Structure 1
Amino acid sequence: MLFIGDDWAEGHHDIEVEDDVGRRLARIRLPEGVEGLARLHEVVAEHLDPDSTGSSDLPESAVVVGIETDRGVWVSALLACGYQVYAINPMSAARYRERHGTSGAKSDAGDAHVLAEIVRLDRGHHRQIAGDSPQVEALKLLARAHQGLIWDRTRHLQRMRSALREYFPAALTAFDNLAAPDTLALLRKAPDPDRAARLTTGQITVELARAHRRGDRTATATRIRDALRAPALRQPAAIEHAYAVVVAGQARMLAHLAEQIDELEQEVKRSFRGHPAAAIVRSCPGLGDVLGARVLAEFGDDPHRYRNAKARKNYAGTSPITRASGKRKTVSARYARNKHLADACHQWAFCSMNTSPGARAYYDALWAREVGHHAALRQLGNRLVGILHGCLKTGTVYDESTAWPQVPPQAAA
């Protein structure tokens, strides 16, 4: 067997090749792309003994690669060649580096050596890159992009709110939802107190109608107009003008982000509904097309990726960690985790209580024991991840009575 440490950068890869006993066979820097990958195959062919494999073909277990990423065209090419590829967490690699030297010295070649040693000696303690289907990999890309745009919108929204609070607090009183299309349109048209005070009820009503605002639009427009014209403290004119330019730009950006989020959401739904496991995931309480797509994409669809439900819970970050030393023992939440999956599971747990009596009863029992809201949601999410694991393993849809047998039938009615 050959063990390869691959310290990757944007334009090159530092490679170290070792044999079974840790003897260094090659150390080389390869360029990114086809040329570099071809040279890597040549190095493997030079040092892999064909007599030991019993065949001229490369067996899947003959070459093991350690690299600090699980995506990209280079990793896809390594997997396509039949290599075993382990994605090593950079934090783990840093701890292994301290094991090999305490001086604090660091180099790309040294990191490649550390990665080769990890996959040679301790690969059983790390996760091999899963054999997920291209369909779920594409879904993961779409779901993460959609979630990332939503997080970007939230950041820009908070920045705009902070700016309005500094020079135009009346806007925060007038508009109950800064992300609403009518609010963004009015802020683009009148981003400062002077122009906002000149807005008429008719102009405001037009924007409410374009945004399909329900209810009595005239009354809403009157309330907004009065709030914008109310006496308030003012900044100097130059500062107000600067803030107005910033807010108008943020409002345009938020409006564009909303359009892109809607378009990407439709693509996420289409991709999710075409997956064979979509029906099982959607059957779980609290999971619709978007949230279900995030959960399925982050877990993947490799049936051999998780040995049991506990392994899936650990990957989700819902299971707690225990720190015990002497007489002291503490149990805390996992903070080193997949943030995309952790966020999806947290929302899943919250939404499940609306449709699942068992989930609601479980949360209420935790609340009665004075467990905090977020801690209770983590524990509920942990249970739901285990239930989903069983459904996917057996190929059956969610059943309330099977998932929560302790809940009496009258509570579920």
Structure 2
Amino acid sequence: MRELEQERVFCGIDWASGHHDIAIVDESGALKARARIDDSVEGMTELLQVLAEHGDTAENPIPVAIETSHGLLVAALRATGRPVYAINPMAAARYRERRTVARKKSDHLDALVLANILRTDADAHRQLPADSELVQAVAVLARAQQNAVWDRTQAGNKLTSHLREYFPGFLAAVGHRREGIFHPIARVLLAAAPTPAKASKLTRAQLRALLKKAGRKNTIDAEAERLHAALRSPQMRQLPLVEQAMGRQALALLRQLDAACTSAEDLAEAATEAFEEHPDAEIITSFPGLGPLSGARVLAEIGDDRSRFANARGMKAYAGAAPITRASGRSTVVMARRVKNQRLAGVGYMWAFSAMAHSTGARAHYDRRREAGDRHTAAQRNLFSRMIGCLHHCLTRRTHFSEDIAFPTPREVHLSLAA
């Protein structure tokens, strides 16, 4: 009986939209149980019952391997406090070839493969971090806001491409602003006059009213005069009926852009509010180049489980900031890391770029790398590596960013070495 209680078992779950297959194996790889559940409370109850029948307890929970890190099933498993491993589907496919050479695929076989991955190579895979509920909420909002920004960019590109086909004068009239077609004035103006014919009939009084509606508060008369002249400048035109049809299409694309802009703004506000409630927010925003929104994106990807990264190098590798060395025989090549958290790497690029404008040490570090022969991207990635290493240190020690410590002058370095 004691041997049975001490026997280790492992669970694999093949996730699908309609049902989930479960396989439990022991230390020898023998199948102990199999089941199929649906994505419901009853299915979760059945899963917990099967695990309990094979020795699952609160003190010694059975680890679970699954091919996704999202969804209700994963959230419910994480809430039980058990180790959950999100196995990359490509890695699982390679393990499947160890079970069969026929390349056959079935839900039960996939669940069995996942369970055996934990049995043989659990140390080679990372379990999902034990992040707090607040960080998980920040991650949802920050990633959704980033997706909304991508949708906004895509919608803006579609609308811009369409306007070039029949209304290039509008793009010339609003293109002097940095936001271009995304600016509220541009969107309000296009909604009122989606064709060159309608735009040329707008009076100065109507333009002033549209500018006020878009939120313009100063130099309204001068801007109305400029738009009045720009929208009446000669340009090539489509046939009248074709122009009207393309105007209707522009309004449809504009509605998509307006929705994407509203979503991005609302989610940015929500992500910022949630981020500022977290105790790590003050430390993260103490770094030059990180504001509330970019800080929320950073926190969403690194989490607040401090055991997730053993050292700063692990966090750098996760962000793609640490290089990777490939050695074979006498050949050694140092390359940029391509397998990384793409969201964290993306915000890291903006972080490093902004830090150079707010930190003399960061700018000097970038300049030194450029003088050493690095291209712009490599020098910026090296700066990001330095900054995220400092972030790991500050979060671990619970201290704010210090310019003097992060980027000491050569004299300070010499004195510290001498001491």
Is TM more than 0.5 here?
yes
Compared CA separation, residues 43 and 243, structure 1 to 2 (3 A) = same
Compared CA separation, residues 369 and 44, structure 1 to 2 (3 A) = same
Correspondences of 1:292-307 after superposition (within 5 Å): 292-307=295-310
Specify the alignment match of 2:338 in structure 1.
335
Deviations 1:258-300 (A, max 9, x none): 3333332222222111111111111111111111111112110
C-alpha distance in 1, partners of 2:247/2:37? 51
C-alpha distance in 2, partners of 1:223/1:165? 21
Select the residue among 231, 234, 245 that pairs with 1:231.
234
The answer on 1:212 being equivalent to 2:215 is: yes
Specify the alignment match of 1:2 in structure 2.
9
Specify the alignment match of 2:142 in structure 1.
143
The answer on 1:252 being equivalent to 2:217 is: no
1:307 positional shift: 0.6
Deviations 1:133-186 (A, max 9, x none): 101111111111111111111110011111111221111111121111111011
C-alpha distance in 2, partners of 1:111/1:198? 66
The answer on 1:59 being equivalent to 2:62 is: no
Does the Cα contact within 8 Å between 1:361 and 1:407 map onto a contact in 2?
A: no
The answer on 1:13 being equivalent to 2:12 is: no
The answer on 1:42 being equivalent to 2:49 is: yes
Deviations 1:18-65 (A, max 9, x none): 0011111122221112111221222223333x8xxxxxx4433x4111
Compared CA separation, residues 242 and 333, structure 1 to 2 (3 A) = farther
Specify the alignment match of 1:110 in structure 2.
109
Specify the alignment match of 1:87 in structure 2.
86
Does the Cα contact within 8 Å between 1:132 and 1:301 map onto a contact in 2?
A: yes
3-state SS of 2:181 partner: coil
C-alpha distance in 2, partners of 1:97/1:377? 40
Which amino acid in the other structure matches residue 35 of structure 1? E
RMSD value, Cα: 2.0
What stretches of structure 1 of length at least 5 have no aligned partner? 51-56
Which amino acid in the other structure matches residue 251 of structure 2? A
The answer on 1:71 being equivalent to 2:70 is: yes
C-alpha distance in 1, partners of 2:276/2:33? 47
1:379 positional shift: 1.4
Specify the alignment match of 2:4 in structure 1.
none
Specify the alignment match of 1:32 in structure 2.
39
Does the Cα contact within 8 Å between 1:313 and 1:386 map onto a contact in 2?
A: yes
The answer on 1:183 being equivalent to 2:186 is: yes
C-alpha distance in 1, partners of 2:335/2:161? 34
Deviations 1:184-236 (A, max 9, x none): 01111111121112122222222223333365333332332333222222233
1:327 positional shift: 4.0
- State the number of aligned residues: 401
Deviates more, 1:193-202 or 1:301-310: 193-202
TM-score scaled by length of structure 1? 0.91
Which amino acid in the other structure matches residue 365 of structure 1? R
1:7 positional shift: 1.0
The answer on 1:264 being equivalent to 2:258 is: no
C-alpha distance in 2, partners of 1:281/1:46? 45
Compared CA separation, residues 94 and 226, structure 1 to 2 (3 A) = farther
Specify the alignment match of 2:195 in structure 1.
192
Correspondences of 1:343-382 after superposition (within 5 Å): 343-382=346-385
C-alpha distance in 2, partners of 1:214/1:318? 44
Select the residue among 290, 304, 313 that pairs with 1:287.
290
TM-score scaled by length of structure 2? 0.90
Does the Cα contact within 8 Å between 1:181 and 1:255 map onto a contact in 2?
A: no
Identity score, percent: 44
> Could you list the runs of 4 or more consecutive aligned residues of structure 1 that deviate by over 6 angstroms after TM superposition?
none
3-state SS of 2:358 partner: coil
What stretches of structure 2 of length at least 5 have no aligned partner? 1-7, 413-419
Correspondences of 1:122-141 after superposition (within 5 Å): 122-141=121-140
3-state SS of 1:391 partner: helix
Does the Cα contact within 8 Å between 1:184 and 1:252 map onto a contact in 2?
A: no
1:238 positional shift: 4.0
